[in-house]
Structure 1
């Protein structure tokens, strides 16, 4: 059994010559006890009886924590420093970019055996609120009634490219 270990070379090919790439995995002995994952939405006892797409707090125990940062509608693997032409095909509307960013999260979740039900924290950054209701409906398609600790923020610009309208950070806890 192995746990993906965070390091600056994460996502790069393993290399026998580059120690930063070679030590990407922390191996656990076979038969190691693993805690059962448990995710709870923590609500105040006196909360109003209204549905919200988020929770004020989420408690997670057991499992493995996975962090997703800087997920946009752009191709996840692009040059750094950024090359403008790699973003020429980005759509110019919030709902479509929201779906593309969530598809990128979905693909990353699948690599660790997770789903949107495993996400406990979600940050949504957008340069525009035009199309926000449609983007919210798209988010509901992916999350369903699953509630995370989350926030939505409007920002002036995202660092990737001026045509990027959406950037997402998320934390998931998977078995």
Structure 2
């Protein structure tokens, strides 16, 4: 076990570790992130592999062209997340919290974890992962990500 590192600034936030920290453990989350003074929080609606803009009530044919596999849906979801972050004036490293809802954790979590690690490029937000029975948008969706980012004050 290594010493607890001092908070490390990443974008508009500081990464916080506590007692028990071990830099040899590979993990898709950190225990805490503190936003820096003046940062504005950005709340991003759940992103999935489906088109972001779609009709309500939902029409199943709108979702027919989305990938049905975990990798394809994750790539779409991260592309959608990029669009929302950029529109809000944020970068990937500004993500401070990610809540992940899976319909089948065993089948999809490892695939998503690998792509998430690539997408973040070394940045690790706080995170919670849940398994649910289904998502509201379309029953073929496998997961949804809810994200909070810390934007610059300017």
Q: Normalising by structure 2, what TM-score?
A: 0.83
**Residue segments in structure 1 that go unaligned for 5+ positions in a row:** 1-36
- Match for residue 56 of structure 1 among 31, 44, 65: 31
Between the aligned partners of 1:116 and 1:125, the Cα distance in structure 2 is: 19
Residue aligned with 1:55, SS: coil
Return structure 1 stretches of 4+ with deviation > 4 angstroms. Answer: none
Aligned counterparts, 1:74-153, within 5 A:
74-129=50-105, 130-153=107-130
Q: Distance in 2 between matches of 1:114 and 1:42?
A: 20
Q: Deviations over 1:55-112 (max 9, x none)?
A: 1111112222110122111111111111111111122111210111111010111112
Structure 1 or 2, whichever has the larger Rg, is: 1
CA distance in structure 1 between the aligned counterparts of 2:104 and 2:20, rounded to whole angstroms: 34
Aligned residue pair count:
139
1:162 corresponds to 2:142: no
Is residue 2:21 matched to residue 1:47?
A: yes
Between the aligned partners of 1:51 and 1:88, the Cα distance in structure 2 is: 36
C-alpha root-mean-square deviation of aligned residues, in Å? 1.5
Report 1 or 2 for greater relative contact order, CA contacts < 8 Å, sequence distance ≥ 6.
Answer: 2
Aligned to 1:125, what secondary structure does the other structure show? strand
For normalisation by structure 1, the TM-score amounts to 0.74
